[in-house]
Structure 1
Amino acid sequence: MCNNTSHRHLGKTISSNRTPPHTHTLHTQPRRTRHIYHKGHKPMHALIEQLQQDEPLTFTQGVQHFSDRCPMLLDLQHTEQDPIWHAEGNVAIHTSMVIDATETLLEESSIKRTDEQRLALRLAALFHDIAKPVTTRTEEKDGRMCVLAPKHAKRGRSYLAYRLASLLQPTTYLEVLQLVAHHHAPIQLPIRNKQAPAYHKIARKVDTRSLYMLSMADMLGRTCDDQQTQIDYVHFFQLECENYGYWEPYNPQKDWSGLLEQLTAYPIITQERILMESIWEYERGLYFHPEEAIARSYDKQKECAEVYIMCGPSGSGKSTWIEANHKGKKIISLDRLRELHTGKRADQKHNAHVLHDARESFKQCLRDKQAVIWDATNLRFDFRNVLFDIARQYGAHVTLVVACPRLKTLHKRNKKRTHPIKRSALDRQINSFQWPDLDEAHRMIFIDEKGECLDDTRTRFFPHQAKAPTK
């Protein structure tokens, strides 16, 4: 095993055996003992302020201050890992080592991070494996029984979405979610021998330097025979990012200035639709250089309908946003259609008829080039993707409006709604939520529970066209 080794990182030596003092206590606790972490005296917001001032984070602090919001932190100590890939022990031990490695990187690395970036990186280290308790399973692979946790990174992002909402600045909040979701990319891209389009795609979604540091900490915070090989992959990720020009913050003007200049005479929704579809085609490997997008864009330069797809559980602020932004748009509400069919908004018995009528009305709006809002929870990718595919068949521009409410607020607001749902139904909505990927629409608007804008992806490509976030 690779105990007691050290690794050269950007001119600094970083030890990989930074096992925290409390590791052995965690490892030997009985499974149902959940009180080993005593509540600290410092409120959670005070800890956030402390971290923003560049105070180091420890795993014990993280559990003490975040376990009320994120109770799965308490289950990390009971979640086993594969002994070949994680000989250090359970997920709590690994997470503690990753946090220590992150602190060392922040202290010693030549990569400079702002206070908010350092905060995001620390929290991403704490939460990077948060969903392993609900995804870990044992199955046979390569002739042996392995402990696996498939899709735990993106499952973790969805779990955190409503639990970290309002706690952080919007950019920091979204950065933590993206770092958690993509922390395997610096290993996967080199292993799969990916080329420039794949690095463009990851750079568009998350800061590659912070992602590199998180992945490096993830490799340093473990005990395994091939640790140095994994570290070499992360180093190679950095080299490829530098080689393709994606080590610096993503700048669409660098690759897409030619196409953007060609589109200036068109309405913003046409510009945005063509740009994003050109980006997706490039990232799928349909052409080798962004400049080729100019020739491919001519058949897309036509008038298009505007589609707004709402995403969020009941009581999350969707209706508030619609009320402020519905002018000139047809609203297709599944709740209202259920009420017309059954007399009750919550009656799911005739969902097939409701969906049929809703989709036919949706398609008619697309044919008529009429702006339309699809008002439903749309919590899962497959539900959203059906609508997106239909809209793209008609050449429409699609905006996904994603509500980011606080978990506690959802239950409070549900009790006060005109049409409340059962608490169990709301819990099912929350647990089934899949955080949207940035490729699910031409534009994404993130809103808080008051319907106010937290972030708008349009600002990244058309900074003078988008409405500024309200926070």
Structure 2
Amino acid sequence: MNWVLIKDKSWQSLERNFEWVADMSGVRQDPRHHAEGDVAVHTQMVLDALQNSVEFEALSESAKEILWTAALLHDVEKRSTTVLEFDGSITSKGHAKKGEYTTRQILYELGAPVQMREQIAALVRHHGLPLWVMEKRDPQKAVIESSLRGGSTQLALLAKADVLGRTCNDQQDLLERIDFFEALCREQQCWFTPRYFETGLARFDYFRKDDSSVDYIPFDDYKNDVIMLSGLPGMGKDFFITRNYPGMTVISLDEIRRKNKIKPDDAAGNGWVIQQAKEHARILLRRSEPFIFNATNITKQMRSIWIDLFTTYKARVKLLYMEVPYQQWLQQNRDRDHPVPEKVIQRMLQKLEVPLSYEAQTVEWIF
């Protein structure tokens, strides 16, 4: 049976069951772009526009649920980002980015399948891209990235519903922008399917370098392998290593902390821990020895720092993201020899960025 957010999709049911839906009521929008009213009114109009579209009706039940849920959540964080500017305008800068994190947390707690959850989160994050793609520094790379995450056709359907679900004077212009987005996606061969790359290294190289060609296939001259783990505390990374890689050298930030009696919230101490890990890694990299790097690595920025280090020494990185269901995760953390306070791991969950397919030469999700 396909996962659904909720069976009763009436607005009254949504407000009654989800606090974050109720929060949409009263969140103001700039009348120049949203003369229809607040976020609650707009979201209902978007859902209606989506469900009444011919394209939506042609989708599978699973695909419908993904798009419907993304439409429901696309403006979920206007509640926390909306401000009245000095000139009288109303803005909500950053609501899509913050909405991605909120969507991930909500759907993880509700038990949505990982792939489904991440596609919805990506649609929320990029829902404005079809309207503003030409304002991106690299429009080509932006549409290719969106195709690898939420899907280009799905994103265009969401954007179209977002435009039709509002009252504004430039509606026709916005719809034409979506048509241009489609044309750009077709040109980049990522409209119906994600953009194809010959190898994982080609995909990694394209997104890592500003001046790389999407069709370039780099020569694989990497010397050794680094297995890099990613996952919240309590996901079972240590057990996974013991079971699958017995005897392999492991660099573990937690182990360095424990050996040196450094607390996780000691900022200065953690800086020293990272330096120790980097030096150990450099020694192994110079020898071209394979090893495992075990840390939470829950943000793209943090992962990129380590991946840049490893690849500088010509190491091939295999990035493994680990996840278990929400309640199991909480219990596993409690059962650890060194459990992390639940308030801390909940804050970490709010910052989680699940690794994307192009962050390393190989990226796998283990769940």
Go from structure 1 to structure 2 and tell me whether the alpha carbon gap of 1:431 and 1:169 turns closer, same or farther (over 3 Å shift): closer
Query: Which residue number in structure 2 is paired with residue 366 of structure 1?
Result: 285
Query: Which residue number in structure 2 is paired with residue 4 of structure 1?
Result: none
Shift of 1:89: 2.1
Query: Which residue number in structure 2 is paired with residue 134 of structure 1?
Result: 80
Asked if the contact 1:131–1:152 (Cα under 8 Å) also holds between the matched residues in 2, the reply is yes
CA distance in 2 between counterparts of 1:193 and 1:426 reads 35
> Structure 2: which amino acid aligns with 1:370?
E
CA distance in 1 between counterparts of 2:167 and 2:189 reads 33
Go from structure 1 to structure 2 and tell me whether the alpha carbon gap of 1:421 and 1:250 turns closer, same or farther (over 3 Å shift): closer
Query: Which residue number in structure 1 is paired with residue 100 of structure 2?
Result: 157
2:121 corresponds to 1:177: yes
Q: Give % identity.
A: 26
Equivalences, count: 366
Query: Which residue number in structure 1 is paired with residue 62 of structure 2?
Result: 116
> Structure 2: which amino acid aligns with 1:337?
I
Tell me the alpha carbon deviations over residues 38-89 of structure 1, each in whole angstroms, 9 at most, x when there is no partner. xxxxxxx9982986xxxx9444344444x2xxx4333222432222222222
> Structure 2: which amino acid aligns with 1:179?
L
CA distance in 1 between counterparts of 2:298 and 2:190 reads 32
The one of 300, 304, 308 equivalent to 1:381 is 300
The one of 42, 46, 61 equivalent to 1:94 is 42
CA distance in 2 between counterparts of 1:122 and 1:110 reads 9
CA distance in 2 between counterparts of 1:369 and 1:182 reads 39
Residue aligned with 2:30, SS: coil
Supply the RMSD in Å over aligned alpha carbons: 3.0
Go from structure 1 to structure 2 and tell me whether the alpha carbon gap of 1:360 and 1:232 turns closer, same or farther (over 3 Å shift): same
Correspondence list, 1:42-441, <5 A: 48=4, 57-65=9-17, 67=18, 71-105=19-53, 108-109=54-55, 112-140=58-86, 144-165=87-108, 167-190=111-134, 196-250=140-194, 252=196, 256=197, 260=198, 272-273=200-201, 275-280=202-207, 284-287=210-213, 290=215, 293-294=216-217, 297-298=218-219, 301-327=220-246, 329-342=248-261, 350-441=269-360
Gap runs ≥5 in structure 1: 1-44, 261-270, 449-471
Shift of 1:386: 1.2
Residue aligned with 1:399, SS: strand
Residue aligned with 2:52, SS: helix
Gap runs ≥5 in structure 2: none
Go from structure 1 to structure 2 and tell me whether the alpha carbon gap of 1:347 and 1:397 turns closer, same or farther (over 3 Å shift): same
> Structure 1: which amino acid aligns with 2:145?
K
Higher relative contact order (CA 8 A, sep 6+): 2
Asked if the contact 2:253–2:295 (Cα under 8 Å) also holds between the matched residues in 1, the reply is yes
Shift of 1:399: 2.9
Shift of 1:128: 1.3
CA distance in 2 between counterparts of 1:110 and 1:406 reads 30
CA distance in 2 between counterparts of 1:335 and 1:442 reads 25
CA distance in 1 between counterparts of 2:13 and 2:103 reads 18
Tell me the alpha carbon deviations over residues 362-400 of structure 1, each in whole angstroms, 9 at most, x when there is no partner. 222222222222222223333222112212211222233
Go from structure 1 to structure 2 and tell me whether the alpha carbon gap of 1:334 and 1:189 turns closer, same or farther (over 3 Å shift): same
Residue aligned with 1:446, SS: strand
Residue aligned with 2:106, SS: coil
Residue aligned with 2:37, SS: coil
